[in-house]
Structure 1
Amino acid sequence: MPRVYTPLESNLGRVKAIVQEGYGGPNSLRFSDVEMPRVAPDGVLVRVRAASVHPDVWHVVFGRPSVLRLMGSGLRRPKNRVPGTDLAGTVESVGLDVTEFSPGDEVFGETLTTHQWTNGGAYAEYASVPAAALRIKPANVTFEQAAAVPTAGMIALRSVRDEGQVREGQSVLVNGAGGGVGSLVVQIAVAFGARVTAVDSTAKLDALRALGAHDVIDYTREDFTLRATRYDLIVDIPGNHSLYEIRRALTMKGAYVLIGHDDFGRQGRRWIGSIGKFVSLLVARLFVSQRVNPRAVSTTEDPLGVLKGMAEAGAITLVIDRAFPLEEAADAIRYLEQGAARGRIVVTM
């Protein structure tokens, strides 16, 4: 029988974690002790082995854009002091209502079931996770690779499958293809039978070819919007081109999906980030022949399960650029901000 973790047990020990004292960046983080997390009746206590360092974590650590503080993160300081949302690890114990997991199961998933602009408690030795947000880890991937799947993978899947509606034989361009989201968009589009063109810096092009990209463009040397080629789908991670420029690279009935990465605050507005771009797209879509879409909620049933199946089948490879020990999480976020990573960054316990 699964061992049930009761609320009283949460006071029996303390665990190592990264604690965020306020907003303002990595200097607000410290390595410390916190209480063992409480687990709800429908929750799972996970012994964390790895957690992803991704842009949404950066947003909460810096408190930018400021609107995120009104969306549940906390006005002056985070309500949840422990950052991180995506993790992989081993089930330690389960809540009273949980039947699908048992102690010892290797799992991966998200600590949050809502938006990612708030801390989720993954940067700790133990984390409390809703059972519905977990899946059994594929045996052929490491904990580090599994931790890199949830946020990036679900954004990539809905961009290609839900919003892009990619079909076999179509042409897809991925702008900003060398990062955690972009590298998965490339692979998922290839798995769906598309011919994929990947756009990124010189240093990342060979890796993108290895992931299945049929063509690559070095953005430091060429502007893809000035090519004569037209694409059925453009997935745009950085959002560094105007809609006018993007549309001339689309087929007449093509689709454009804006992920909305604001280059770690260098492009988006301080108060609302890239939300203004999303609103503009919602208005523009009423007047153009192409489908122009801001990133939205996935309509794919069980997207994490779909990604698990693709990983098990070898259709996607989870690329880990670098792993940092938990106590160096601040350095991991600084490295993320540089934008040089080829794939995902993780912290390990």
Structure 2
Amino acid sequence: MTWMVTGGAGYIGAHVVRALLDAVERTGDTTLAPVVLDDLSSGHRGFVPDGVPLVEASVVDTDAVRAALLQHGVTGVVHLAGFKYAGVSVQRPLHTYEQNVTGTAHLLAAMADAGVGSIVFSSSAAVYGTPDVDVVTEATATAPESPYGESKLIGEWLLRDQGRATGLRHTSLRYFNVVGSGHADLFDSSPHNLFPLVLDALASGRTPRINGTDYPTPDGTCVRDYVHVGDLAVSHVAAAQALAAGRELERVYNLGSGDGLSVRQVMTTVAEVTGIAFEPELAPRRPGDPARIVASGEAAARDLDWRMRHTAADMVASAWDAHRRASA
């Protein structure tokens, strides 16, 4: 028996795979052994450890997913595969819905056919849009402002409705800005995320940019939740273990810091950790960027072993080490 990680060759998915392997080694529970399903459109074959099966297929291919579930004796799924770029989703809405909504529906159909009854879904803070509260909780109203955010909320609805119809055990994890590295050979290769953008700029001798310095925040720059990818992976595994054990979980959980960091604070930490002194280029606001999005992780701390085990300096240092190794 195994757990399938869709998108398991990606940045976050690969960390979840390593966390599952750690859990097998720590507990001796071989039912947590991972198998990866990934179409490698943005993932990396080299992120999949030796000995972990890799099925090269898309979640929109129901037949391929069903065959993989049956072949590998899958009992649960951690679903991370999807198109994850909110800004680009505005230009490519149909592609976003195909990958994230149709893909999730096809995955659930394949799971039902194969008798797989548990799923942990990678959702997003984008479901909240621009909240009017200082700290988001699971009770905060959802109001997504991009096709990406809408697609993630619809994914949650699909799980909810399939649970009502078939008894599917499920939970969805909403999270924010995932950063850092838990393993030096795993790095964030996204062309849209703040950390790789800043580190790429410094490595190539360019000056990182801050978009917007006149927000109603202490230093005028946007405040966001930044969570370490290794901490995130631990809670995905905790959710899988809970579902496998038949424990009741909430329908959704926020994996948040509770306080957040400003973009200026991130830049200052990057300069301190890397030893590269720089003054960021200041640019106007980007349309649609809210001043502050920070979430409470109290419910996840109670149920999913969620906690912030890494400081801002830890996050930057691990990301920088992985970045330099990848660039070597």
TM-score scaled by length of structure 2: 0.29
The answer to which structure has the higher helix fraction is 2
TM-score scaled by length of structure 1: 0.28
